[in-house]
A and B are shown apart, each in its own frame.
Chain A
Amino acid sequence: MDAILLQILNGLDKGSAYALIALGLTLIFGTLGVVNFAHGALFMLGAFCAVTLQRVLSASYEVIDETKVDFLGNPLKVKTPYVEGWFGPEVGGAIIDWAVPLSILIAIPFMIAVGFIMERGLIKHFYKRPHADQILVTFGLAIVLQEVIKYFFGANPIQTPPPDALLGVVNIGAPLSLELAYPIWRLVYFFFAIAIIGGVFSFLQFTTFGMVVRAGMADRETVGLLGIDIDRRFTIMFGLAAAVAGLAGVMYGPINPPNYHMGMDFLVLSFVVVVVGGMGSLPGAVLAGFLLGILESFASTTWATTTIPGINQIIIYLVAIIVLLTRPRGLMGRKGVMED
């Protein structure tokens, strides 16, 4: 029982990332009808927002400390981050410590801006082109973004630690009197993902703006004929989808140190998630994201890997193939979406 619960929990963090990326992909696909191969790159850009903020905050100046000397008798140079110099060591230290959660604040405007520029600058010109062209141009963009990041940040993964307060492990099975040790940050990530997913759904469900967008997803032409500028709203939705992917990336840094190709690694799996969930279905994307994340975690247990070596690497693809062969529209896909 403990073991099963633990595997479900272990799958939640990866599942959350899949669900968030797949949600953004489905949003873009449902509104603009574009398949965005650069969505993984947006996830990666988000993660590097956190890296950048951390670097900026820990930019430091050197002072010569006369009271301390090194073993040669020279005065020791002490590095002090500017932030600590301005706000005092305690507040400044706390700011640096909380760099990853703080970068949410810069990631949201930054990612929305990136989304706007992408949509207005590039994708707008591809609405009337065949899907193959859309795939190819966003694929090219993904390569460019990832190479730019590689140029500035190098090819190695960069450590982005979570705040000290959220470091460590908590026993979340205590109320049920079970032993379930689980890293705090992963728990934070899961609730963060739930909050974002809930936010996106309630935005679409309970606001007028969301209602118009849903109407536009159902019948773009009629909404346009009613005198509503649906294109502008869809552009905003693209920015929102980019922000969702970016936020998923920001908070994922402490779980897996970001590197330049993390986007593509997640993108392929997120596409599989979208296909399994059903193209164009938002609840399907979220459900399939969590399901496949949990499945992957079960396949990574020692029992599974000794029975079938390497099953954890291919389980998602196998499931996708089985789903497509038995339910070609995916778990929650509707008829008529992407049938041609």
Chain B
Amino acid sequence: MLGLNKKDTSLLIVVAILALAAPFLLNPFPTNSAMAQFNAGYPDLMQRFVIFGIFAIGFNILFGLTGYLSFGHAAFLGVGSYAAVWMFKLLSYNVVPAIALSVVVAGIFSVLIGYVSLRRSGIYFSILTLAFAQMSFALAYSVLSNPKFNLTNGETGLQVYADDPQILHRDGLPDVPHLFGWAMRDNFLELKLGGWEFTFNNGYYLCALIMLVVFYLSIRLFRSPFGLMLRAVKSNQNRLNYTGLNPKPYTLAAFIISGMYAGLAGGLLAAMDPLAGAERMQWTASGEVVLMTILGGAGTLIGPVLGAGFIKYFENIFSKINDNVLHQWFAFMPDGMEDFMVFIVHPFVGKGWHLTLGILFMLVVTFLPGGLVEGGQRLLNVIRNRGRKPADPKDPEHHPKETPHVAE
């Protein structure tokens, strides 16, 4: 289907079902039960799942295929957000021009940054992209927000004000980001079934549809001759050179494509919440997308989406846990024990989420370089092999025959 082989088609269909049914799947607990805090089926978080999924899919095209580790991808995300908010300010709250411009601007940015950074490879490339991202952050945070030329509105962040031109704005249209009158923040359906509440958010479904489209594109890219060429860049650039091929245009194209994915994610972030701040460009944000990709499994199709969902989910859950919640959890223990457990866990939750993230980062890189996908495959292999009896150790093909005893 759609030019995909059977396996990829089923993968795409599974992802599509998961994405479209997310409001159900992510809300397994009734609203007023104690477990409701583990629900993830509310619009804001679901939007972040798919938007960062798009970001990670794009990053994976560069890192997973070519092996070039960019440490400055958040810059494109930030640029995309700024472009989208400017479209809101100048034209109207319609998200179509905003998202289109954010992709285009991020693309132009990645041409500039990629052209310079890709002159070097390996560590140089990582450091160069990191330097570019920090430079963009400095530019957005202070340099481009002076009274003479205010492009980014500095610390406050760029937002839409009542006196902005918005030349295409009509009276009938909502005063929030919308798709031809279909406001992003509204829910088109709110279901109450027994104790459960399911919200179906316009913005989420727009993001999910876009995510499916770009996921499809990335599958096609992975399976294309171009994708094969990118893998060749990763495995051996010298050999590529000797066969008379120049790897530069291919890597640059991959860099631009992944920059445009990041710009798209930034545009969608702004479309869900019309605000763009410089902190989206900081090195921590770049590190986060690297972690998402690695955690899910770099170079795999589904990995980055899984990683993005995993990180965003646990970020959300961990940040919500405070000492009161902890005391509830450990209430079954004796008092001293309870306080001790709370004391132990406390640094890792709430504001300590970043500590957990850092530890997770180290553990994943050290023990599971292939990410969750590899972990899943290993687990699957273990389960499959358990039923089967292990290969006969006395297998005659792989073991030398026993030497006959001398006396015989």
Chain A interface (Cβ < 8 Å from any Cβ of B) = 35, 122, 125, 129-133, 135-137, 139-144, 147-148, 151, 264, 268, 271-272, 274-275, 279, 309-311, 313-314, 317-318, 320-321, 324-325, 328, 338, 340
Contact = CB atoms under 8 A, between A and B. Distances in A.
B69 A310 contact: no
Given A268-B283, A321-B116, A35 B123 contact: yes
A151 B143 CA distance: 32
A141 B119 contact: no
A151 B350 CA distance: 12
A309 B154 CA distance: 13
B142 A147 contact: no
A125 B357 CA distance: 21
Interface of B: 63, 67, 69, 71, 116, 119-124, 126-128, 130-132, 134-135, 138-139, 142-144, 146, 148-149, 283, 287, 290, 294, 347, 352, 354-355, 357-362, 365-366, 369
B361 A136 contact: yes
B353 to A, nearest CB: 9
A190 to B, nearest CB: 26
A272 B369 CA distance: 28
Nearest to B135: A317
Contacts, number: 119
Contacts of B355: 143-144, 147-148, 151
A115 to B, nearest CB: 17
A338 B122 contact: yes
Given A147-B354, A328-B119, A340-B122, A272 B127 contact: yes
A309 B347 CA distance: 41
A133 B362 CA distance: 10
A136 B292 CA distance: 12
Contacts of B352: 147, 151
Contacts of B146: 309-310
21 contacts: A129-B369, A130-B67, A132-B67, A136-B69, A136-B294, A136-B361, A139-B287, A274-B127, A275-B124, A279-B123, A279-B124, A309-B143, A309-B146, A309-B148, A310-B144, A311-B143, A313-B142, A321-B131, A325-B116, A328-B120, A338-B122
A118 B66 CA distance: 30
Contacts of A340: 121-122
Given A144-B362, A324-B116, A324-B119, 18 more contacts: A35-B123, A125-B366, A135-B69, A136-B294, A136-B365, A137-B365, A140-B359, A140-B365, A142-B358, A143-B355, A268-B134, A271-B130, A272-B127, A310-B139, A310-B146, A313-B138, A325-B119, A328-B120
A76 to B, nearest CB: 36
A311 B67 CA distance: 33
Contacts of A130: 67
Contacts of B63: 132
A313 B131 CA distance: 12
Nearest to A143: B358
A147 B128 contact: no
Contacts of B369: 129, 133
Contacts of B134: 268, 317
A135 B357 contact: no
Contact of A131 (B123, B138, B143, B362): B123
Name the prevailing secondary structure of the B interface residues.
helix
B338 to A, nearest CB: 21
A338 B124 contact: yes
A314 B144 CA distance: 12
A264 B127 contact: no
A314 B127 CA distance: 15
Contacts of A131: 122-123
A329 to B, nearest CB: 10
Given A309-B146, A328-B119, A317 B132 contact: yes
B130 A143 contact: no
Contacts of A309: 143, 146, 148-149
Contacts of B294: 136
Nearest to A151: B347
Contacts of B357: 143
Given A140-B358, A143-B354, A310-B138, A268 B119 contact: no
Nearest to A144: B358
Contacts of B122: 131, 338, 340
A45 B295 CA distance: 28
A135 B362 CA distance: 11
B131 A141 contact: no
B116 A135 contact: no
Greatest chain B CB density within 10 A among A136, A271, A272, A309 is at A136
Contacts of A151: 347, 352, 355
Contacts of A147: 352, 354-355, 358
Contacts of A133: 365, 369
Contacts of A132: 63, 67, 69, 126
Contacts of B360: 140
A328 B117 CA distance: 11
B290 A136 contact: yes
A328 B290 CA distance: 26
A229 B290 CA distance: 36
Rank and list the top 8 A-B pairs by shortest CB-CB distance, nearest first: A310-B143, A143-B358, A140-B361, A147-B355, A144-B358, A140-B362, A317-B135, A313-B138
Greatest chain A CB density within 10 A among B352, B357, B360, B361 is at B361
Contacts of A268: 130-131, 134, 283
